[in-house]
């Protein structure tokens, strides 16, 4: 007989209780009750009784949402994000919140106020980031599906490092109402799961129009329609720039073996060139830090979260920010403020926007002749905890293959495609704007 939602939920909670990976930050004490209600209502809704974990930067009514930062300690949102409303309507059971890099600024989940999350494949290694908790808990079997957010790779990177599937949908596809902003012109919420079908089923629930996000696009789509084994005549473009300097040989091999598998299934491939890829990282970091410096101005101790003592408002706000933000967040606020300041604005911020247009044009051109682009999600597998912590630039470099996608706003999915020295490798499949169904079909046929 099928187990009840209550039994399923209880068994995941038991597994989480034994966890050693520090993936969850907060557990919901409502989960069992919600599951019981779903059982008594006879399992209504497409996700009835499905347990799900939510990244710490997505607002959940009554459940702590801190962006893994000291500055939001104690903050409990009075409302649900759009995606949470949708999940609840669909019958999903929210198990708890997951660890992340502070304010989603990172590639390793080491900058969290709650301490690092450990990669379940090797506890000495990072799970990737910034949605490291969301990927690790799925990989460890602590929850079947989760939500993360991806500003420059934060769903795809941890998916690749933890050997799970993760999608960054087209910009405008999923409402960000209730997502605490890091860099709004780049970010999207995206699901993570152990398989492509679960990703499509979550997308069917969370994607769609919402008038509370001005970038939300009104466009109907059924993602699960794409769950077909069929890549016959699919045209794949392989950007040579995605196999650049510093790429791990075994990652490279795993990706080419995967492309050969697509050929066996009836697809064809050609090499393509995306010449502005080498400028994408610089453009991304200027834009992301500039937007972050503006977005994070609201955290001053007045309205929510942590508040330091001070004899007047100015002292209180400045001490709150000095004590509440970690070093990476401060670095980005300072650099972003600098890039936006009078005299430097044209030289850095406007230049970065122009480069962004060139990167986007690379995608328009390449995707005009092929159905999808494929390459490694990350140039190398998960690194050791602490290995890059003192060298921010080496961390930023790991994002070389993921940030161009956010600059262009196109959709991209990472699927496990092999191992490098025992650690998972992710294949990145990139599509045209709003053509999630083609990348989902490719990923489904491949897995």
Closest to 432 measured CA to CA, from 378, 376, 369, 375: 369
Closest to 60 measured CA to CA, from 38, 39, 37, 86: 86
State the nearest-atom distance from the C-beta of 258 to ligand GLN, in Å.
23
State the nearest-atom distance from the C-beta of 220 to ligand GLN, in Å.
27
Measured CA to CA in angstroms, residue 250 lies from 208, 246, 342 at distances of: 38, 12, 46
Measured CA to CA in angstroms, residue 306 lies from 41, 302, 314, 317, 417 at distances of: 40, 9, 15, 10, 43
State the nearest-atom distance from the C-beta of 315 to ligand GLN, in Å.
31
Which is closer to ligand GLN, CB of 92 or CB of 281?
281
State the nearest-atom distance from the C-beta of 288 to ligand GLN, in Å.
5
State the nearest-atom distance from the C-beta of 103 to ligand GLN, in Å.
8
Distance CA 106, CA 368 (A): 32
Is 154 designated active site? yes
Which is closer to ligand GLN, CB of 104 or CB of 385?
104
Q: What string of H, E and C letters represents the secondary structure of 76-110?
A: CCCCCCHHHHHHHHCCCEEEEEECCCHHHCCCCCC
Catalytic residue among 68, 130, 146, 445: 130
State the nearest-atom distance from the C-beta of 388 to ligand GLN, in Å.
11
Counting Cα atoms < 13 Å in the Cβ hemisphere of 215 gives 14
| DSSP secondary structure code for residue 123 in this structure | T
Which is closer to ligand GLN, CB of 153 or CB of 411?
153
Which is closer to ligand GLN, CB of 151 or CB of 175?
151
Which is closer to ligand GLN, CB of 152 or CB of 324?
152
| DSSP secondary structure code for residue 180 in this structure | P
Which is closer to ligand GLN, CB of 99 or CB of 130?
130
State the nearest-atom distance from the C-beta of 156 to ligand GLN, in Å.
8
Phi/psi for 283 (5° steps) reads -65, -45
Give the interface with ligand GLN as residue ranges (CB under 6 A).
104-107, 130, 150-154, 182, 288, 399
Distance CA 118, CA 114 (A): 12
Q: What tokens were used for 247? A: 């790429």
Distance CA 429, CA 238 (A): 10
CB 222 within 8 Å of CB 436: no
Which is closer to ligand GLN, CB of 155 or CB of 443?
155
Which is closer to ligand GLN, CB of 13 or CB of 403?
403
Question: What sign does the CA torsion over 363, 364, 365, 370 have?
Answer: positive
* Residue facing ligand GLN at closest CB distance: 154
Closest to 123 measured CA to CA, from 111, 100, 140, 138: 140
State the nearest-atom distance from the C-beta of 211 to ligand GLN, in Å.
25
Question: What sign does the CA torsion over 208, 211, 213, 218 have?
Answer: positive
Catalytic residue among 55, 70, 168, 432: 55
Closest to 250 measured CA to CA, from 124, 158, 374, 380: 380
Distance CA 321, CA 140 (A): 35
Q: How many residues does the chain have?
A: 447
Distance CA 98, CA 106 (A): 15
State the nearest-atom distance from the C-beta of 68 to ligand GLN, in Å.
12
Distance CA 289, CA 331 (A): 9
Which is closer to ligand GLN, CB of 34 or CB of 107?
107
Catalytic residue among 154, 216, 258, 290: 154
Distance CA 226, CA 167 (A): 14
Distance CA 68, CA 54 (A): 12
Catalytic residues: 55, 130, 154
């Amino acid at each position: 007989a099928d187990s009840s939602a209550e039994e399923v939920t209880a068994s995941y909670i038991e597994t989480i209780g034994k966890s050693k990976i520090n993936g969850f930050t907060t557990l919901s004490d409502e989960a069992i009750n919600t599951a019981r209600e779903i059982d008594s209502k006879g399992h209504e809704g497409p996700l009835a009784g499905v347990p799900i974990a939510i990244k710490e930067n997505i607002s959940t009514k009554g459940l702590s949402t801190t962006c893994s930062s000291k500055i939001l300690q104690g903050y409990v949102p009075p409302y649900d994000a759009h995606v949470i409303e949708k999940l609840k309507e669909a019958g999903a059971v929210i198990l708890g919140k997951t660890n992340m890099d502070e304010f989603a600024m990172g590639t390793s989940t080491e900058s969290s106020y709650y301490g690092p999350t450990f990669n379940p494949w090797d506890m000495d290694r990072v799970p990737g980031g910034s949605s490291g908790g969301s990927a690790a808990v799925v990989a460890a079997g602590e929850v079947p599906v989760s939500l993360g957010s991806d500003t420059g790779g934060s769903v795809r990177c941890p998916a690749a490092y933890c050997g799970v599937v993760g999608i960054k949908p087209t910009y405008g596809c999923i409402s960000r109402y209730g997502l605490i902003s890091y860099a709004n012109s780049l970010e999207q919420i995206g699901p993570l799961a152990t398989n492509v079908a679960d990703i499509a089923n979550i997308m069917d629930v969370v994607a769609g129009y919402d008038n509370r996000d001005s970038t939300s696009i009104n466009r109907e789509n059924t993602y699960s329609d794409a769950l077909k084994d069929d890549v016959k005549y699919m045209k794949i473009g392989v950007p040579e720039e995605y196999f650049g300097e510093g790429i791990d040989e075994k990652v490279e091999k795993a990706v080419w073996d995967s492309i050969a598998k697509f050929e066996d299934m009836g697809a064809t491939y050609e090499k393509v060139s995306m010449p502005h890829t080498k400028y994408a990282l610089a453009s991304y970091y200027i834009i992301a830090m500039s937007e972050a410096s503006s977005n994070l101005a609201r955290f001053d101790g007045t309205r929510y979260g942590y508040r330091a003592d001070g004899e007047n408002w100015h002292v209180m706000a400045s001490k709150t920010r000095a004590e509440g933000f970690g070093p990476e967040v401060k670095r980005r606020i300072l650099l972003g403020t600098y890039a936006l300041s009078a005299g430097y604005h044209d030289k850095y911020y406007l230049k970065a926007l122009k480069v962004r247009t060139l990167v986007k044009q690379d995608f328009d051109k390449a995707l005009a002749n092929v159905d999808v682009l494929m390459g490694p999600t990350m140039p190398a597998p998960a690194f050791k905890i602490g290995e890059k912590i003192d060298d921010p630039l080496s961390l930023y470099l790991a994002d070389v293959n993921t940030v161009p996608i956010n600059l262009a706003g196109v959709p991209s999915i990472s699927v496990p495609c092999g191992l490098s020295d025992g650690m998972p490798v992710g294949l990145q499949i990139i599509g045209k704007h709003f053509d999630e169904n083609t990348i989902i079909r490719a990923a489904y046929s491949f897995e």
